[in-house]
A = this chain, B = another copy of it.
């Protein structure tokens, strides 16, 4: 039984070994710059072995991409069903998201930089996920409006899109591109801008 189990793990491990090697490579260089040979070498398997588990480089890339994306998506999803105040939830989302980015700087390069658009299938998958996230956020905002935590009269979709941009570009950009050390206070500062706006309330 342990033997069988080991074998199963072994088989699973080999596929995972290759996938992880591929992810690492794709994080560093782009699709065309990464060769199957290199992936095989890094995974410490023969070139042919890669093809035992992935029918083509394209599929291997797609799986690498989804693998990276899933963790990212989870950082949003886990909060959509929360019960805290909306503002706290949003803070949590940004925080979780930031932590994830910090822990996976390189991994997220794949999401930020690679062009899933070359592969129609992946492109569609990405668009669907975007919609999913947007829906999650706008639902949250609508809830906020109902409980009067969020003001009435705002364009919910726009508010949602701006929140996603806040996470994706502001946080992601700072950490991944600008390589800035982002701390808790900055999350608070950013959310403060998002929550209260920048306008001088005396003006309106």
For A195, list chain B residues within 8 Å (CB).
197-199
Which applies to chain A's interface (DSSP): helix, strand, loop or mixed?
A: helix
For A198, list chain B residues within 8 Å (CB).
141, 144, 150-151, 154, 159, 194-195, 197
| A30 to B: closest C-beta gap in Å | 5
Binary contact readout A168-204 vs B (1 if CB under 8 angstroms, 0 otherwise) = 1110011001100000001001101111111111111
Beta-carbon contact of B177 and A130 below 8 Å: yes
Chain A stretch 74-124: residues in CB contact (< 8 A) with chain B: 87, 109, 113-115, 117-118
Give which listed residue, B109, B117, B165, contacts A113 with CB less than 8 A. Answer: B117
A189–B161 CA distance with the chains assembled, in angstroms: 12
Query: Is A149 part of the contact surface with B, judged by Cβ < 8 Å?
Result: yes
Interface residue tally for chain A (C-beta within 8 Å): 52
Beta-carbon contact of A118 and B161 below 8 Å: no
For A30, list chain B residues within 8 Å (CB).
115, 117-118
Q: Which residues of A contact B (CB under 8 A)?
A: 29-33, 87, 109, 113-115, 117-118, 127, 130, 141, 144, 148-151, 154-155, 158-159, 161-162, 164-166, 168-170, 173-174, 177-178, 186, 189-190, 192-204
8 shortest interchain CB distances as A-B pairs: A197-B197, A155-B189, A165-B169, A165-B165, A196-B197, A32-B32, A195-B199, A158-B190
| 6 pairs of residues in contact across A and B, judged by CB atoms under 8 Å | A149-B203, A151-B196, A158-B170, A164-B169, A195-B199, A196-B196
